[in-house]
Amino acid sequence: MLTSRDYLTIDDFDVDGKTILVRVDLNTPMDMDGNILDDMRIKSHIPTIKDLEDAKVVLIAHQSRAGKSDFTTMKPHSQRMSQYLGKEVKYVDDIFGTYARSSIASMKKGDVILLENVRFYSEESINRPASEHSTTHMVRKLSPLIDIFLNDAFAVSHRSHLSITGFTETLPTGAGRVMEKEISSLDRGVKGGERPCVFVLGGAKVDDSLTVADNVLSNGGADRVLVTGVVANVMLAASGVDIGSTNLKFIESQGYTDQIERGKGILAKFNGKIGLPIDVAFNDGGKRVEVHVSELPDGNLPINDIGLETIVSFSDELKNAKTVVLNGPAGLSEVEPFALGTHEIIKAAVQSEYSIAGGGHISAEVRNLGYDEKFSHLSTGGGACIDYLAGVELPGIEALKVAATRYRLNR
């Protein structure tokens, strides 16, 4: 049965005995010996594969990118996935050559294979329209062997790469379970679920975070936006607070000086809806020193976290909210004295009725605290998540919508 969504899912297809090509995101941290350090993304795709147990499943994925030390084969990933599935995921040392095609053609119902790192093929990482990707050797060689394409790689769907959009032009296309959950969960944050809805935007991606703030406050998706991290430093400067030369120089080094002026406009536009820190924590030779923003001293100490008064104030807001969205850490969370803000914000967020943590550093901190099961949704995407929250159209998701329209017209 077709759904009312503007994209299709596994439930819209008869997958019994079909050959299904699934783009997954298995990109994982690896050590110098090729050992997987964090298999969260591998585990995330297990529900999708289990729902295709009556099909022949061909997985395509990437690991790192050219020039990086962990740009390697998918063999370790197939082994780890085999452990979680309880059956062999055959690693195929080929992408679309004779070995890959013969391996697909000889598959039996219930088989799962993982093709080689798609980024070994130079055309994979070229950003171009789906129509152009669809004419590449990879798509033309594999498509005749495949019945259905599923995009389950939300974390890379902000890029118009070959394996994300190319097959959507040639095959019936839908979303896997990871993609489906990301869209439905993040929509609750973007479009506003139960009220009040509070966003906490931190980290160092200031321009992206301000775009998110503008988007969710303009469209009514959020009632309040609280800022932490470098985002907060920029907004404090925008509000007229002298944050010190060291912090201003850091903002300049990241290319965000112009965001201070932009921040002034956002503060004026959304008067009272942006929550700024009332105190901060300086890093004085590794020692945490807390100061109220009205009493910031002259000097060159870096601001590495929000202060305790801010932590208490922000935490109270989150505990009283119905929906909470976190994106980015509150400070230098990898250094113990300055992880306090991030950790307390995380603990407060899960006390709301519905809690979302964006990808990247904040998701890593959630898992480090053992709070991943307490969040309503923990996003697998970093850049993709913040783009989605900012209202940016993700090429991978737009391609799903186009494919769904085409499929329905041809029924």
Binding annotation: 25-27, 41, 62-65, 119, 159, 334, 359-362
Q: Which residue has the tokens 């870096």?
A: 302
Distance CA 357, CA 378 (A): 5
User: From the annotation, which residues make up the binding site for substrate?
Assistant: 25-27, 41, 62-65, 119, 159
Q: Please tell me the total number of residues recorded for the chain in this structure.
A: 411
Give the closest residue to 299 by CA, choosing from 309, 289, 312.
Answer: 289
Do residues 254 and 206 make contact, with C-beta atoms less than 8 angstroms apart?
Answer: yes
Do residues 170 and 148 make contact, with C-beta atoms less than 8 angstroms apart?
Answer: no
User: From the annotation, which residues make up the binding site for (2R)-3-phosphoglycerate?
Assistant: 41, 119, 159
Report the C-alpha dihedral over residues 96, 97, 99, 105, rounded to 10 degrees: 50
Backbone angles phi, psi at 290, to 5 degrees: -100, 135
**Which three-class secondary structure state does DSSP give residue 189?**
helix
Q: Which residues of 41-60 are buried (b: 16+ CB within 10 A; e: fewer)?
A: bbebbebbbebbeebbbbbb
C-alpha separations of 127 from 138, 163, 261 in Å: 15, 11, 32
Do residues 340 and 309 make contact, with C-beta atoms less than 8 angstroms apart?
Answer: no
Beta bridge partners of 198: 224, 324
Number of H helices, E strands in the chain: 17, 15
Distance CA 373, CA 1 (A): 31
Do residues 116 and 90 make contact, with C-beta atoms less than 8 angstroms apart?
Answer: no
User: From the annotation, which residues make up the binding site for ATP?
Assistant: 334, 359-362
Backbone angles phi, psi at 324, to 5 degrees: -130, 135
Q: How far is CA 110 from the centre of its chain?
A: 30
Q: Which residue has the tokens 């850049």?
A: 383
Which secondary-structure segment (H or E) carries 55? none
Widest distance between CA atoms in the chain: 72
